[in-house]
Copies of this chain bind each other. A is one copy, B any other.
Amino acid sequence: MLNRVVTISREFGSGGRTIGKKVAEKLGIPCYDAELIQKIAEESGYTADYIKEEGEYTSGGWLSTVFTDRTMGLTNQDKLWNIQSRVIEELAGKGSCVIVGRCADYILREKADCLKVFIHASIEKRAERIVRKYGEREESPEQRLREKDKRRAAYHRFYTDMKWGHAQNYHVCLDSGELGIDRCAELIAQLY
């Protein structure tokens, strides 16, 4: 019998991580996110900051790195992907949990009984949220979001061959900007 895992993919600024934590609290199961990064770091010998940058958030053109280095064998990103996959499989094997981000739905597709969730929100609502949470930057919040969206979609596409944000890839997709963080968490917990 496979463990029941909630995987949450989310647009940057949509509050998916907060929703994941709330769902986990409601269900009394662990939520992996920063902890996961830490664990990957321990296994890989990279620092947590490096992994955070390279895993999804990298600001310096990882795509070009992937495409130029791949002919030479595994890139750092590929190695990271492999470690990350192993860590996620281990966590899901230990027991029920919520996993936020990191293509966990794809990694666990045959290893766990997943409730696959995607959280999104309009660019306006997300812009408001990231300014509130992370403060102003030199770039406009809309620019930051578009950049992150593009990178996340490309990363996801590259490693999973699935289109980011396609409803068909998930059991439930929710607009957290319209429905609110708490209501999303309630719904997911209810579906679990």
Contact = CB atoms under 8 A, between A and B. Distances in A.
Interface in A89-126: 118, 120
A51 interface: no
Interface residues of A, number: 19
Interface string A156-192: 0000000001111011111100110001000100110
Nearest to A118: B167
Nearest to A149: B168
Contacts of A167: 118, 120, 165-167, 170, 173
A149 to B, nearest CB: 10
Most B CB contacts (10 A, CB to CB) among A167, A179, A191 go to: A167
Contact of A187 (B118, B173, B187): B187
Interface of A: 11, 118, 120, 165-168, 170-175, 178-179, 183, 187, 190-191
